[in-house]
A and B are shown apart, each in its own frame.
Chain A
Amino acid sequence: MSENNLHNEQKLLNLLEKKFILKGGSVRRERRVEVKVEPKEIVPVLLYAKENSGYTAFTHMSCVDWIEDGEFEVVYILWHPEEKINFFVKTRVSRDNGTLPNIDFIWRQANTYEREIREMFGIQFEGLVGREEFILEDWEHMPPMRRDFDTAKFVEKTYFYRPGREDAKDVREYVQERTDEELPDFAKKYSRD
């Protein structure tokens, strides 16, 4: 892809660089522009993109747990219906008591995304109004999409085996018992954990 064809992508990046303090920004490829900002810049950048630059469609919002950095990365993905460009706005908040501004006054469907992220990761959104429970009902444990939430351990602790199925275990263990043979566990052998 030549430089010339990425003109629209670069234009947005130059405008934002002049107007806001960015922590980073790049044209990833054709139709993909990315900027990184502080949480307090989220609302101004998104509003500017919607009102002044034509990024009127809110496509997606996602959250990634970077447990080793002690941070969550929240990604807002916008779409320009005329220039056909996806615009990524990324920000990072602390894993402990991380708070982000609420953006459902800009796009009302963001309300659903924010409610899910609040429930699944534990990030609070200032002024977010909406039903407390989205998917989980009466959940009292750690938000389950956090990396340190161990699904297998939770299941072992919370649920019991159906009567008559108490001995349910890995089929490989049965084979090992019967044949008295050590079977290789490939998944464990090559796992990075």
Chain B
Amino acid sequence: MREKSTTLYIGPQHPGITGNMMVKLQVEGDTIVKAETHVGYLHRGFEKLMERRNWLQSFTIVCRICVPEPDPNEENYSRAVEEIEGREVPERAKYIRVMTLELARIATYLLWYGGQSGSAGLLTMGQWSVGDRNYILDLFEDLTGGRVYHMYIWPGGVRRDLPEGFKEKALRTMDYLEKRLDDYDKLLFENSIFQKRAKGVGIIDKNKAIEWGVVGPPLRGCGIQSDVRKDDPYEVYDKLDFEVPAMEGGDVWTRALVRRFEIRQSINLVRQVLDKMPGGEYYNKIPNPHKWTIPAGDAFVKTESARGEFGYYMVSDGGNKPRRVHVKGPAYVHGITLLENLLVGENVADVSFIMNSLGTCPPEIER
């Protein structure tokens, strides 16, 4: 007998949804037969705002595009400006940038630990990991003055040099986090509830993944080695030693394992960067921001953020304001076409579980 079909609306305000967006579900029993993503609750028109602000004023806007991980936005924006203008960046600034990006990646993964386990009902994990994330935010506060939004990586380099004693403090934090990760494993990865919820759920087809536009940990969770840090190296990633993990499976479980591996790798990268960081200048000064014009041209730059490939397409018409800045976040594909397809056939209770595993972030969909 065919079960009666019901329409369910999850979001825009819902603790299981990763931000302000709505998933409209058609369910039969508790099985999803159709899913539609609806956005529009968070549109702040950043791209339009940037067209009316000069190059430096626009820089202060971009970090607001993503709350959990603002730094790839800043880095992308700065690198796009530098590419069009041909501005050199001091070597030390590149190392500091990589350190900032890796710290941001660790912070984002710690937040992800909370979201992923919380959506499975395991609430202790989030208390631990979000608490430990504060130690990273402390480092950011020392370095940039801001805990969440940093406005630190700007065109020409970075805004400040490392403060006194920062290196030692950062290394101490990394040592502490590395020890904590073993506790996390016991709490989350060895937990049979999490294993049963995660294995075989939200499977992405490996053969279709690249064509569907899957990026980042979800793609590596399908067994495909793909990482912008290796494929299109930026800053000083080509001088650092790290691996791209890839695990076969394509489900929530392998995506979680990939992140588990990467957080350790990021800790290692921070140590490497602090060890290899050269001295010298950290900023190639820009001219008076009101008079600062960028030659006409366009650039597309990419960064590997914690959620996947993050891109900026920037166009300059030779003026003192951007002609167009188009932000491409991984959620633009993950949160719409991929999510709508993955949810079909899944259980209603797994919606936010799958969303968290994809790293859906609505502010990237509607910039």
Binding site for B on A (CB under 8 A): 31-32, 56-60, 62-65, 75, 77, 81, 84, 86, 88, 107-109, 111-113, 131, 133-137, 144-145, 147, 149, 151, 186-187, 189-192
Contacts and interface: CB of A to CB of B under 8 A. Distances in A.
Interface in B322-336: 323-324, 326, 328, 332-333, 336
Given A131-B36, A134-B39, A190-B291, A84 B213 contact: no
A2 to B, nearest CB: 17
Contacts of A144: 45, 48
Given A57-B213, A60-B311, A62-B324, A32 B290 contact: no
A187 B336 CA distance: 39
A154 B215 CA distance: 38
Interface of B: 36, 39-40, 43, 45, 47-49, 51-52, 54, 210-213, 224, 226, 231-232, 288, 290-291, 298, 300, 309, 311, 313, 315, 319-321, 323-324, 326, 328, 332-333, 336-338, 366
Contacts of B321: 192
A86 B320 contact: no
Nearest to A136: B40
Contacts of A88: 300
A190 B290 contact: yes
Contacts of B224: 81
Contacts of A190: 288, 290-291, 320
A180 B54 CA distance: 29
Give 8 closest A-B pairs by Cβ, nearest first.
A190-B290, A62-B326, A109-B213, A109-B337, A64-B324, A135-B40, A62-B313, A60-B328
A151 B45 contact: yes
B320 A109 contact: no
B328 A59 contact: yes
B47 A59 contact: no
Given A56-B211, A64-B298, 7 more contacts: A31-B232, A57-B213, A58-B211, A59-B328, A109-B333, A151-B45, A151-B48
A81 B315 CA distance: 25
B261 to A, nearest CB: 21
